[in-house]
Protein backbone atom coordinates (compact mmCIF):
# COMPACT_ATOMS: atom_id res chain seq x y z
CA UNK A 1 0.00 0.00 0.00
CA UNK A 2 1.34 3.43 -0.90
CA UNK A 3 2.07 5.73 2.01
CA UNK A 4 -0.20 8.74 2.37
CA UNK A 5 1.42 12.10 1.78
CA UNK A 6 0.57 14.96 4.13
CA UNK A 7 -0.12 18.40 2.68
CA UNK A 8 3.05 20.55 2.60
CA UNK A 9 1.76 23.07 5.11
CA UNK A 10 1.54 20.44 7.84
CA UNK A 11 5.17 19.53 7.26
CA UNK A 12 5.98 23.23 7.63
CA UNK A 13 3.95 23.33 10.84
CA UNK A 14 6.32 20.74 12.29
CA UNK A 15 9.44 22.47 10.98
CA UNK A 16 8.52 25.93 12.29
CA UNK A 17 7.72 25.36 15.93
CA UNK A 18 5.43 27.86 17.59
CA UNK A 19 6.35 28.72 21.20
CA UNK A 20 4.01 27.50 23.90
CA UNK A 21 3.33 31.11 24.99
CA UNK A 22 0.70 32.58 22.67
CA UNK A 23 2.26 36.05 22.90
CA UNK A 24 5.43 34.90 21.11
CA UNK A 25 5.55 34.80 17.32
CA UNK A 26 8.35 32.90 15.52
CA UNK A 27 10.10 35.20 13.07
CA UNK A 28 10.49 32.40 10.53
CA UNK A 29 6.85 32.91 9.51
CA UNK A 30 7.93 36.19 7.88
CA UNK A 31 10.96 34.77 6.04
CA UNK A 32 10.14 31.19 4.95
CA UNK A 33 9.30 31.10 1.20
CA UNK A 34 7.70 27.65 1.44
CA UNK A 35 5.37 28.90 4.15
CA UNK A 36 4.41 31.93 2.06
CA UNK A 37 3.34 29.67 -0.80
CA UNK A 38 1.42 27.42 1.59
CA UNK A 39 -0.42 30.44 3.06
CA UNK A 40 -1.86 31.33 -0.33
CA UNK A 41 -3.73 28.03 -0.15
CA UNK A 42 -4.14 27.46 3.59
CA UNK A 43 -5.37 30.97 4.39
CA UNK A 44 -6.69 32.69 1.28
CA UNK A 45 -8.41 29.70 -0.26
CA UNK A 46 -9.37 28.39 3.17
CA UNK A 47 -12.86 28.73 4.71
CA UNK A 48 -12.63 32.54 4.92
CA UNK A 49 -14.38 35.48 3.26
CA UNK A 50 -12.03 38.02 1.67
CA UNK A 51 -13.03 41.69 1.37
CA UNK A 52 -12.57 42.53 -2.33
CA UNK A 53 -14.40 45.83 -2.78
CA UNK A 54 -17.52 47.91 -2.37
CA UNK A 55 -20.44 48.05 -4.79
CA UNK A 56 -19.86 51.79 -5.30
CA UNK A 57 -16.53 50.96 -6.99
CA UNK A 58 -18.45 49.23 -9.79
CA UNK A 59 -21.69 51.26 -10.01
CA UNK A 60 -22.72 50.58 -13.65
CA UNK A 61 -23.30 47.33 -15.56
CA UNK A 62 -20.01 46.21 -17.09
CA UNK A 63 -17.88 48.08 -14.51
CA UNK A 64 -15.07 45.99 -13.05
CA UNK A 65 -12.04 46.23 -10.81
CA UNK A 66 -9.11 43.85 -10.49
CA UNK A 67 -7.72 42.56 -7.20
CA UNK A 68 -6.19 39.36 -5.83
CA UNK A 69 -7.38 36.97 -3.16
CA UNK A 70 -4.00 35.95 -1.85
CA UNK A 71 -2.19 34.79 -5.00
CA UNK A 72 -5.37 34.28 -7.03
CA UNK A 73 -6.04 37.20 -9.42
CA UNK A 74 -9.75 37.98 -9.73
CA UNK A 75 -12.11 40.40 -11.45
CA UNK A 76 -14.88 42.00 -9.41
CA UNK A 77 -17.59 42.91 -11.92
CA UNK A 78 -21.15 44.16 -12.12
CA UNK A 79 -22.78 42.09 -14.83
CA UNK A 80 -25.19 43.19 -17.53
CA UNK A 81 -27.97 42.09 -15.15
CA UNK A 82 -26.46 44.34 -12.39
CA UNK A 83 -25.46 41.30 -10.31
CA UNK A 84 -21.97 41.39 -8.73
CA UNK A 85 -19.65 38.50 -9.56
CA UNK A 86 -16.03 37.63 -8.79
CA UNK A 87 -14.31 35.82 -11.66
CA UNK A 88 -10.84 34.28 -11.81
CA UNK A 89 -8.67 36.57 -13.96
CA UNK A 90 -7.27 33.83 -16.20
CA UNK A 91 -8.47 32.59 -19.57
CA UNK A 92 -10.00 29.12 -19.34
CA UNK A 93 -8.02 28.11 -22.43
CA UNK A 94 -4.33 28.57 -21.60
CA UNK A 95 -4.48 30.63 -18.43
CA UNK A 96 -3.55 34.03 -19.89
CA UNK A 97 -4.25 37.01 -17.62
CA UNK A 98 -7.40 38.48 -19.14
CA UNK A 99 -7.33 41.95 -17.65
CA UNK A 100 -4.46 44.29 -16.82
CA UNK A 101 -4.98 47.59 -15.08
CA UNK A 102 -7.09 48.45 -12.04
CA UNK A 103 -10.57 49.02 -13.51
CA UNK A 104 -12.71 49.60 -16.58
CA UNK A 105 -15.99 48.74 -18.30
CA UNK A 106 -16.60 45.80 -20.67
CA UNK A 107 -20.35 45.95 -21.13
CA UNK A 108 -20.09 46.21 -24.93
CA UNK A 109 -17.18 43.94 -25.83
CA UNK A 110 -16.68 41.62 -22.88
CA UNK A 111 -13.27 40.30 -21.84
CA UNK A 112 -11.10 39.30 -24.81
CA UNK A 113 -7.93 37.29 -24.26
CA UNK A 114 -4.97 38.73 -26.17
CA UNK A 115 -3.39 35.30 -26.74
CA UNK A 116 -5.99 33.42 -28.81
CA UNK A 117 -8.89 35.93 -28.84
CA UNK A 118 -11.29 33.94 -26.68
CA UNK A 119 -14.01 36.29 -25.44
CA UNK A 120 -16.13 36.19 -22.27
CA UNK A 121 -19.22 38.15 -21.28
CA UNK A 122 -19.73 40.01 -18.01
CA UNK A 123 -20.93 36.80 -16.30
CA UNK A 124 -17.76 34.94 -17.31
CA UNK A 125 -19.44 32.86 -20.04
CA UNK A 126 -17.32 32.05 -23.08
CA UNK A 127 -19.13 33.67 -26.02
CA UNK A 128 -16.59 33.48 -28.87
CA UNK A 129 -13.41 31.70 -29.93
CA UNK A 130 -11.17 32.36 -32.90
CA UNK A 131 -10.66 29.81 -35.70
CA UNK A 132 -12.67 26.97 -34.17
CA UNK A 133 -11.96 24.67 -37.11
CA UNK A 134 -10.34 21.41 -36.06
CA UNK A 135 -11.45 21.75 -32.43
CA UNK A 136 -12.53 18.40 -30.95
CA UNK A 137 -16.09 17.57 -31.91
CA UNK A 138 -17.19 17.54 -28.28
CA UNK A 139 -15.98 21.11 -27.63
CA UNK A 140 -18.76 23.29 -26.19
CA UNK A 141 -18.30 26.94 -25.23
CA UNK A 142 -20.49 26.50 -22.16
CA UNK A 143 -17.85 24.15 -20.69
CA UNK A 144 -15.18 26.86 -20.71
CA UNK A 145 -16.53 29.69 -18.58
CA UNK A 146 -14.33 31.54 -16.11
CA UNK A 147 -14.21 29.98 -12.62
CA UNK A 148 -16.26 31.96 -10.12
CA UNK A 149 -15.90 32.65 -6.42
CA UNK A 150 -18.85 32.57 -4.05
CA UNK A 151 -19.94 36.16 -3.50
CA UNK A 152 -22.00 37.91 -0.88
CA UNK A 153 -22.36 41.52 0.22
CA UNK A 154 -22.96 43.31 3.48
CA UNK A 155 -24.07 46.95 3.35
CA UNK A 156 -22.44 47.23 -0.06
CA UNK A 157 -19.12 45.66 0.98
CA UNK A 158 -18.26 42.79 -1.39
CA UNK A 159 -16.87 39.56 0.02
CA UNK A 160 -15.71 36.48 -1.88
CA UNK A 161 -14.55 33.00 -0.97
CA UNK A 162 -12.90 30.25 -3.01
CA UNK A 163 -13.84 27.59 -0.48
CA UNK A 164 -17.10 25.65 -0.50
CA UNK A 165 -16.77 25.02 3.24
CA UNK A 166 -16.76 28.69 4.21
CA UNK A 167 -19.79 29.43 6.44
CA UNK A 168 -22.46 31.90 5.33
CA UNK A 169 -21.11 35.46 5.33
CA UNK A 170 -23.26 36.70 8.21
CA UNK A 171 -22.11 33.78 10.34
CA UNK A 172 -18.49 34.52 9.42
CA UNK A 173 -18.73 38.23 10.22
CA UNK A 174 -20.55 37.50 13.50
CA UNK A 175 -20.44 40.45 15.91
CA UNK A 176 -18.28 42.46 13.51
CA UNK A 177 -21.48 43.52 11.77
CA UNK A 178 -21.99 46.01 14.62
CA UNK A 179 -18.89 47.92 13.56
CA UNK A 180 -19.62 47.64 9.86
CA UNK A 181 -23.09 49.09 10.51
CA UNK A 182 -21.53 52.18 12.09
CA UNK A 183 -19.08 52.83 9.25
CA UNK A 184 -21.05 51.71 6.19
CA UNK A 185 -24.50 52.72 7.51
CA UNK A 186 -26.98 51.83 4.76
CA UNK A 187 -24.21 51.04 2.28
CA UNK A 188 -25.05 54.04 0.07
CA UNK A 189 -21.45 55.16 -0.50
CA UNK A 190 -19.72 57.02 -3.32
CA UNK A 191 -16.29 55.78 -4.41
CA UNK A 192 -13.87 58.72 -4.42
CA UNK A 193 -10.72 56.96 -5.62
CA UNK A 194 -7.91 54.72 -4.46
CA UNK A 195 -4.14 54.59 -4.10
CA UNK A 196 -2.09 51.40 -4.47
CA UNK A 197 1.29 51.18 -2.79
CA UNK A 198 3.79 48.39 -2.10
CA UNK A 199 5.09 47.83 1.43
CA UNK A 200 8.39 45.97 1.67
CA UNK A 201 7.11 43.68 4.40
CA UNK A 202 5.30 40.38 4.80
CA UNK A 203 1.52 40.64 4.53
CA UNK A 204 1.00 39.40 8.11
CA UNK A 205 3.11 42.25 9.49
CA UNK A 206 0.82 44.77 7.83
CA UNK A 207 -2.35 43.11 9.12
CA UNK A 208 -1.07 42.58 12.68
CA UNK A 209 -0.15 46.28 12.77
CA UNK A 210 -3.87 47.13 12.63
CA UNK A 211 -4.48 44.98 15.74
CA UNK A 212 -1.73 46.90 17.57
CA UNK A 213 -3.00 49.96 19.44
CA UNK A 214 0.29 50.31 21.34
CA UNK A 215 2.23 51.80 18.41
CA UNK A 216 -0.30 54.47 17.46
CA UNK A 217 0.74 57.29 19.77
CA UNK A 218 4.34 56.06 19.97
CA UNK A 219 5.05 55.89 16.22
CA UNK A 220 2.64 58.24 14.48
CA UNK A 221 3.99 61.75 14.76
CA UNK A 222 0.83 63.17 13.19
CA UNK A 223 -1.12 62.19 16.29
CA UNK A 224 1.64 63.59 18.48
CA UNK A 225 1.79 66.91 16.65
CA UNK A 226 -1.92 67.67 16.99
CA UNK A 227 -2.18 65.83 20.33
CA UNK A 228 -5.04 63.63 19.19
CA UNK A 229 -5.34 60.88 21.77
CA UNK A 230 -7.80 58.14 22.54
CA UNK A 231 -9.57 58.92 25.82
CA UNK A 232 -11.34 55.61 26.02
CA UNK A 233 -12.70 52.98 23.76
CA UNK A 234 -11.73 49.37 23.41
CA UNK A 235 -10.35 46.75 21.08
CA UNK A 236 -12.70 43.87 20.55
CA UNK A 237 -11.91 40.62 18.78
CA UNK A 238 -15.39 39.48 17.76
CA UNK A 239 -15.80 35.72 17.60
CA UNK A 240 -12.09 35.46 18.46
CA UNK A 241 -12.27 31.74 19.14
CA UNK A 242 -13.08 31.10 15.50
CA UNK A 243 -12.52 33.99 13.10
CA UNK A 244 -10.13 36.46 14.74
CA UNK A 245 -11.62 39.71 13.37
CA UNK A 246 -10.83 43.06 15.03
CA UNK A 247 -13.11 45.94 15.98
CA UNK A 248 -11.39 48.90 17.56
CA UNK A 249 -13.67 51.74 18.65
CA UNK A 250 -12.24 54.86 20.18
CA UNK A 251 -13.38 58.02 21.91
CA UNK A 252 -10.89 60.70 20.91
CA UNK A 253 -9.95 64.32 21.59
CA UNK A 254 -12.58 66.76 20.22
CA UNK A 255 -11.31 68.75 17.23
CA UNK A 256 -11.67 72.07 19.07
CA UNK A 257 -9.27 70.79 21.73
CA UNK A 258 -6.53 69.73 19.30
CA UNK A 259 -3.29 71.68 19.55
CA UNK A 260 -3.21 74.20 16.66
CA UNK A 261 0.15 72.92 15.44
CA UNK A 262 -0.56 73.99 11.85
CA UNK A 263 -1.62 77.39 10.56
CA UNK A 264 -4.51 75.63 8.84
CA UNK A 265 -5.99 72.85 10.99
CA UNK A 266 -8.94 72.28 8.66
CA UNK A 267 -7.29 69.10 7.36
CA UNK A 268 -8.29 67.43 10.63
CA UNK A 269 -11.87 68.71 10.71
CA UNK A 270 -14.81 66.40 11.26
CA UNK A 271 -17.57 68.05 9.25
CA UNK A 272 -19.91 65.10 8.80
CA UNK A 273 -20.05 63.80 12.37
CA UNK A 274 -19.97 65.46 15.79
CA UNK A 275 -16.78 63.87 17.19
CA UNK A 276 -13.36 62.49 16.25
CA UNK A 277 -14.41 59.09 17.60
CA UNK A 278 -13.64 56.33 15.14
CA UNK A 279 -13.95 52.66 14.32
CA UNK A 280 -11.27 50.45 12.80
CA UNK A 281 -11.96 46.87 11.76
CA UNK A 282 -10.08 43.95 10.26
CA UNK A 283 -12.14 41.34 8.48
CA UNK A 284 -9.77 38.39 8.84
CA UNK A 285 -7.59 37.70 6.98
CA UNK A 286 -6.93 40.82 4.92
CA UNK A 287 -9.66 43.47 4.80
CA UNK A 288 -9.61 46.78 6.71
CA UNK A 289 -12.59 49.13 7.20
CA UNK A 290 -12.28 52.41 9.11
CA UNK A 291 -13.83 55.86 9.62
CA UNK A 292 -11.13 58.14 11.06
CA UNK A 293 -12.17 61.84 11.10
CA UNK A 294 -14.36 62.29 7.98
CA UNK A 295 -12.46 59.63 6.04
CA UNK A 296 -14.32 56.44 5.19
CA UNK A 297 -11.74 53.96 4.01
CA UNK A 298 -11.27 50.36 3.01
CA UNK A 299 -7.86 48.76 2.62
CA UNK A 300 -7.24 45.62 0.64
CA UNK A 301 -4.10 43.68 1.61
CA UNK A 302 -2.60 41.72 -1.30
CA UNK A 303 0.46 39.49 -0.75
CA UNK A 304 2.83 39.75 -3.72
CA UNK A 305 5.95 38.05 -2.46
CA UNK A 306 7.38 36.96 0.86
CA UNK A 307 8.53 40.50 1.64
CA UNK A 308 6.34 42.60 -0.68
CA UNK A 309 2.70 43.43 0.00
CA UNK A 310 0.42 45.68 -2.02
CA UNK A 311 -2.05 47.78 -0.06
CA UNK A 312 -4.92 49.44 -1.88
CA UNK A 313 -6.26 52.43 0.07
CA UNK A 314 -9.82 53.06 -1.18
CA UNK A 315 -11.70 56.21 -0.12
CA UNK A 316 -15.45 56.78 0.04
CA UNK A 317 -18.05 59.42 0.79
CA UNK A 318 -21.77 59.10 1.35
CA UNK A 319 -24.12 59.53 -1.57
CA UNK A 320 -26.03 62.27 0.23
CA UNK A 321 -22.91 64.36 1.01
CA UNK A 322 -23.13 68.03 0.06
CA UNK A 323 -20.37 69.12 -2.32
CA UNK A 324 -18.37 70.84 0.45
CA UNK A 325 -18.24 67.63 2.50
CA UNK A 326 -17.32 65.61 -0.56
CA UNK A 327 -14.40 67.90 -1.39
CA UNK A 328 -13.27 67.78 2.24
CA UNK A 329 -13.22 63.97 2.16
CA UNK A 330 -11.27 64.00 -1.12
CA UNK A 331 -8.63 66.21 0.49
CA UNK A 332 -8.51 64.63 3.93
CA UNK A 333 -8.42 60.95 2.94
CA UNK A 334 -5.07 60.83 1.11
CA UNK A 335 -3.42 63.66 3.09
CA UNK A 336 -4.20 62.20 6.51
CA UNK A 337 -4.85 58.48 6.05
CA UNK A 338 -3.29 57.72 2.69
CA UNK A 339 0.00 55.80 2.45
CA UNK A 340 1.97 59.07 2.65
CA UNK A 341 -0.54 60.84 4.90
CA UNK A 342 0.11 62.71 8.11
CA UNK A 343 -1.04 59.78 10.26
CA UNK A 344 0.02 56.63 8.40
CA UNK A 345 3.32 57.60 6.77
CA UNK A 346 5.46 55.91 9.40
CA UNK A 347 3.94 52.43 9.15
CA UNK A 348 5.89 51.53 6.00
CA UNK A 349 9.24 52.46 7.59
CA UNK A 350 8.55 50.57 10.82
CA UNK A 351 7.27 47.41 9.14
CA UNK A 352 10.18 47.33 6.70
CA UNK A 353 12.57 47.39 9.66
CA UNK A 354 10.72 44.51 11.30
CA UNK A 355 10.94 42.54 8.05
CA UNK A 356 14.67 43.22 7.61
CA UNK A 357 15.43 41.93 11.09
CA UNK A 358 13.22 38.87 10.94
CA UNK A 359 16.11 36.87 9.50
CA UNK A 360 17.65 37.05 12.98
CA UNK A 361 15.13 34.35 13.95
CA UNK A 362 13.95 34.21 17.55
CA UNK A 363 10.49 35.47 18.48
CA UNK A 364 8.60 38.74 18.32
CA UNK A 365 6.87 39.36 21.64
CA UNK A 366 3.45 40.87 22.36
CA UNK A 367 3.21 42.36 25.87
CA UNK A 368 0.91 45.36 26.34
CA UNK A 369 -2.50 44.20 27.54
CA UNK A 370 -1.66 40.51 27.61
CA UNK A 371 -2.25 40.03 31.37
CA UNK A 372 -5.88 40.14 30.31
CA UNK A 373 -6.57 36.88 28.52
CA UNK A 374 -9.72 37.72 26.60
CA UNK A 375 -11.29 40.78 24.91
CA UNK A 376 -12.26 43.54 25.30
CA UNK A 377 -8.84 45.18 25.60
CA UNK A 378 -7.87 48.82 26.02
CA UNK A 379 -7.60 50.79 22.81
CA UNK A 380 -3.83 51.21 23.35
CA UNK A 381 -3.14 47.47 23.80
CA UNK A 382 -1.31 45.17 21.42
CA UNK A 383 -2.83 42.02 22.95
CA UNK A 384 -5.35 41.48 20.10
CA UNK A 385 -2.44 40.44 17.87
CA UNK A 386 -2.55 37.08 19.66
CA UNK A 387 -6.04 36.40 18.32
CA UNK A 388 -5.02 37.21 14.74
CA UNK A 389 -2.37 34.51 15.02
CA UNK A 390 -4.71 32.07 16.72
CA UNK A 391 -6.97 32.21 13.66
CA UNK A 392 -3.95 32.00 11.36
CA UNK A 393 -2.52 28.98 13.17
CA UNK A 394 -5.80 27.08 13.00
CA UNK A 395 -5.89 27.49 9.23
CA UNK A 396 -2.22 26.61 8.75
CA UNK A 397 -2.11 23.67 11.19
CA UNK A 398 0.47 25.14 13.58
CA UNK A 399 0.78 23.72 17.07
CA UNK A 400 2.72 24.91 20.10
CA UNK A 401 6.00 23.35 21.24
CA UNK A 402 4.16 21.35 23.91
CA UNK A 403 2.16 19.38 21.28
Note the pLDDT of residue 402.
Answer: 46
**SS3 at position 217:** helix
- Residues contacting 398, CB < 8 A, separation 6+: 13, 16, 18, 392
**What does DSSP assign to residue 17?**
P
Note the pLDDT of residue 341.
Answer: 85
Note the pLDDT of residue 120.
Answer: 98
pLDDT in tens, 105-155: 999 999 999 999 999 999 999 999 999 999 999 999 999 999 999 999 999
What CA–CA distance (Å, rounded) separates 252 from 220?
Answer: 15
Q: What is the pTM of this model?
A: 0.93
- Residues contacting 59, CB < 8 A, separation 6+: 78, 191
In 3D space, the residue among 64, 222, 76 whose CA is nearest the CA of residue 160 turns out to be: 76
Burial class (CB in 10 A: 0-12, 13-18, 19+), 60: exposed
What CA–CA distance (Å, rounded) separates 276 from 268?
Answer: 9
Note the pLDDT of residue 230.
Answer: 53
Neighbours of 232 (CB within 10 A): 11
Q: Which domains occur in the chain, in start order?
A: 50-153 (2.102.10.10), 180-394 (3.90.380.10)
Q: Spell out, as residue ranges, where the chain has pLDDT lower than 70.
A: 1-10, 13, 218-233, 239, 252-262, 400-403
How many Cα atoms sit within 13 Å of 111 on the Cβ side? 35
Amino acid sequence: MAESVEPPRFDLARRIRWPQEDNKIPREIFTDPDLFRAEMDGVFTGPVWVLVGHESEIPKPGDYKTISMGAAPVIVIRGANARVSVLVNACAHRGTRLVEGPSGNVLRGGFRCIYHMWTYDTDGRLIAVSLPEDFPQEFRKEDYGLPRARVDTYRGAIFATLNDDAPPLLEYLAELTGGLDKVLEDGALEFLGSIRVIFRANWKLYVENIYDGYHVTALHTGFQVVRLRSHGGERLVPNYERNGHLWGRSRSTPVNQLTPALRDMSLFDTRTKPTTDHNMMVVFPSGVVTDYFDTIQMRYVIPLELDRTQIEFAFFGRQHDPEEARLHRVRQGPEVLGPAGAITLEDAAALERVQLSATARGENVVLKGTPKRFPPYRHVDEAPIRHFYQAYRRLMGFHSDDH
